[in-house]
Chains A and B, each alone.
Chain A
Amino acid sequence: GAVVSQHPSWVICKSGTSVKIECRSLDFQATTMFWYRQFPKQSLMLMATSNEGSKATYEQGVEKDKFLINHASLTLSTLTVTSAHPEDSSFYICSAPPPGQGTDTQYFGPGTRLTVL
């Protein structure tokens, strides 16, 4: 089946620094990718929809200037957490639906665990 990878799988950074997380579709082209955040013992929260070649669509309450999303190619979307703070520590997961295969083939990356000290 189709594979979505994320890098890094975990990252620890100091408060105030920026962290970039990559999401790649390895064997299909993804015009749309989704970025989620999940806090411990909570469900996934959609942060934004990343669209190749255009601006991302952010969900209400998500700061677009803090969570920068770039979807420059059909296989790569990046999420940059700028000026990270401890409250940004979370599990970040991306997903991508291969075009033309319907919603039930949305593939998830393995996630990136971010810890901000």
Chain B
Amino acid sequence: QKEVEQNSGPLSVPEGAIASLNCTYSDRGSQSFFWYRQYSGKSPELIMSIYSNGDKEDGRFTAQLNKASQYVSLLIRDSQPSDSATYLCAATFDSNYQLIWGAGTKLIIKP
């Protein structure tokens, strides 16, 4: 069964520090990986996508993918209180756009 796993948290990080979110997946055939941010009562919004091993940076966000170890992570530098949200990791296992979701990690940035 294809699964994506995340620690539910909450993960508490002081403002200005680096927040590190991790995700593992079960299927080595996974092709694409995504990090979504979801505020309470809102739908998810895409933060980062990553397809190849290594790092991908976009502003304060860096996604890291290690296919050999089957994990993907998201680093948030200079964390802000507005980054407080639930972060959902998702992966696709085939080409039909269907996303397999992790349970999400609740991130709390403390001022």
Q: Which residues of A contact B (CB under 8 A)?
A: 32, 34, 42-46, 49, 91, 93, 97, 102-104, 106, 108-111, 113
Contact = CB atoms under 8 A, between A and B. Distances in A.
Contacts, number: 50
Interface in B71-111: 88, 92, 95-99, 101-104
Contacts of B31: 103
Pick the most buried of B32, B92, B101, B103: most chain A CB atoms within 10 A of its CB.
B101
B43 A103 contact: no
Given A43-B102, A104-B32, A104-B34, A97 B97 contact: yes
A46 B98 contact: yes
B88 A44 contact: yes
Given A43-B103, A49-B96, 12 more contacts: A34-B99, A46-B98, A91-B41, A102-B32, A103-B32, A103-B49, A103-B92, A103-B95, A104-B49, A106-B97, A106-B99, A111-B43
B17 interface: no
Interface of B: 31-32, 34, 41-46, 49, 88, 92, 95-99, 101-104
A31 B31 CA distance: 22
A109 to B, nearest CB: 6
A97 B90 CA distance: 15
A19 B88 CA distance: 28
A32 B97 contact: yes
Q: Which 6 A-B pairs have the closest CB atoms?
A: A104-B49, A108-B43, A97-B97, A111-B43, A43-B103, A93-B43
Pick the most buried of B41, B44, B104: most chain A CB atoms within 10 A of its CB.
B44
A49 B44 contact: no
A116 B44 CA distance: 23
A91 B46 CA distance: 18
Nearest to B45: A108
A113 B45 CA distance: 17
A91 B97 CA distance: 21
A103 B97 contact: yes
